[in-house]
Every structure is written in C-alpha cells, then in structure tokens.
Amino acid sequence: MFKTDTDLMQNTVTVTLDGKSVSLPSGLSVAAALFGIGETISRISTTSRKPCSPHCLMGVCFECLMEIDGVQRQACLTEVRDGMVINRYLNGNKGEVE
C-alpha cells in the first residue's frame, strides 16, 4: 500500500510484534512504522469481525487501536520504543479486545 522514498530503516528499534521480534524504523508512530514494514492491518473489529486498517492517521478514527505494552492505545499517537510489546490479536485469539 505504501513504499518509502528515504531509507526508513536507517535507525531502528526492536519490538515484539504479535510474539515475534521485529525491527521498526525509529522516530515514527507505531502506525506509521508498521506501514513502513508493510503491515497494514491493525486489528480485527470486535463488532464486524473484519480486518481494520488505520484510516485517519491523526487520532480520530480509532481504527489503529492495538495492545501496546499491555494497554490498548491508538498506534498513530504512540511513538515506537525499543522493547515495546505490540499485540494485534489478528487471529482473534484474545476474543473481545476492541
């Protein structure tokens, strides 16, 4: 969906994404960083059961909600940090996390 025009991965941080260790470009929001590595799905909607993707990128739509360090946050308003633990529950295993 998006490609980069600068070398995004010049400076990176290491996070745990859905249980796997992943490098993300530093200095960006979690939402932008995930787009940067080609991850466009943010969660599965608890109401429609369909995949969600960030829509407004400015903190209004809440499509980018994900569990970041144990608390559900808007990924577009949270800057990536080394050691961050991000869970999107794309298999729906956690059930009702919004």
Which residues of the shown chain bind other proteins in the complex (CB under 8 A)? 1-6, 8, 25, 27-29, 32-33, 35-36, 40-41, 45-48, 50-63, 65, 70-72, 74, 77-79, 94-98
Q: Which amino acid is at 29?
A: S
Q: Which DSSP letter does residue 80 get?
A: -
Q: Min. distance of Cβ 52 from other proteins in angstroms?
A: 7
Q: Min. distance of Cβ 16 from other proteins in angstroms?
A: 17
Under 8 Å between Cβ of 46 and 97: yes
Q: Min. distance of Cβ 21 from other proteins in angstroms?
A: 21
d(CA 33, CA 89): 18
